[in-house]
Amino acid sequence: MSGTCGASSRAERPDRRGILARARDAFAHAFAMPGKEPLAGPDEALLDKVARAVARRRMQPAALFLLEQAKPFHGLLFQAGVFATPLLDLAEPLATRILKLVARDEFTLEEVRRLALLFERPDTVEALARRIEAAADA
C-alpha cells in the first residue's frame, strides 16, 4: 500500500529539474538584444521621412544632439515608447489632434507607433542620425 502511495505522490509532484529547465527556457531571451538584421524597406522609408521632416524644419543640430545623447538610454526610451503606445490607443482622438498640430499631418498614428518599435533596435538611432545628416547636406 505504501508503495503505491509513494508512486502516486511522486507522479503528482513536479520534477525540480523540469521546473528549473522550463524557467531557464522561459527567461533565456528575456533580456536579449535584437539581432543585426537590416532594416526593412518600409522602416527605411519611415526613417527617411523623419529625416526630411527634421531637415525641412531646420532642426538637424538639435535632433542630432538629442539622438547622440539618447544612445546610452535607447533601451529605456524604447520601453517608454512601448509604455506610451497603449496610452495613445486610449486617447487616440486627442493624440491624433496633437499629432496634427505638431507634425502637420506628416505622420500618422500608425507611423508613430512603428517608429517607437523601431527604436528597440540599437542601430536605429545611428541610422536615423546618418539620414538626418544626409538630409542636411541635400
Residue tagged 507634425 (cell numbers): 103
| Higher pLDDT pick, 100 / 3 | 100
Residues 78, 84: Cα–Cα separation, whole Å: 10
Residues 120, 33: Cα–Cα separation, whole Å: 8
Range of the domain at 123: 39-137
Query: pLDDT class for 65, splitting at 50, 70, 90?
Result: very high
Question: Considering its fold, how many domains does the chain have in total?
Answer: 1
The verdict on residue 19 lying in a domain is no
The verdict on residue 54 lying in a domain is yes
Q: What are the tens digits of pLDDT across the range 8-43?
A: 555 555 555 667 777 776 666 555 555 567 778 899
The verdict on residue 13 lying in a domain is no
Query: pLDDT class for 84, splitting at 50, 70, 90?
Result: confident
Output the pTM of the full model: 0.61
Residue 5: what pLDDT?
53
pLDDT above 90 (res 130)? yes
What is the Cα 91 distance to its own chain's centre? 20
The verdict on residue 132 lying in a domain is yes
Record the cell numbers describing residue 47, joined without a space: 526613417
Sign of CA pseudo-dihedral 16, 18, 21, 24: negative
The verdict on residue 103 lying in a domain is yes
The verdict on residue 33 lying in a domain is no
Mean pLDDT of 47-70: 90
The verdict on residue 14 lying in a domain is no
| Higher pLDDT pick, 135 / 96 | 135
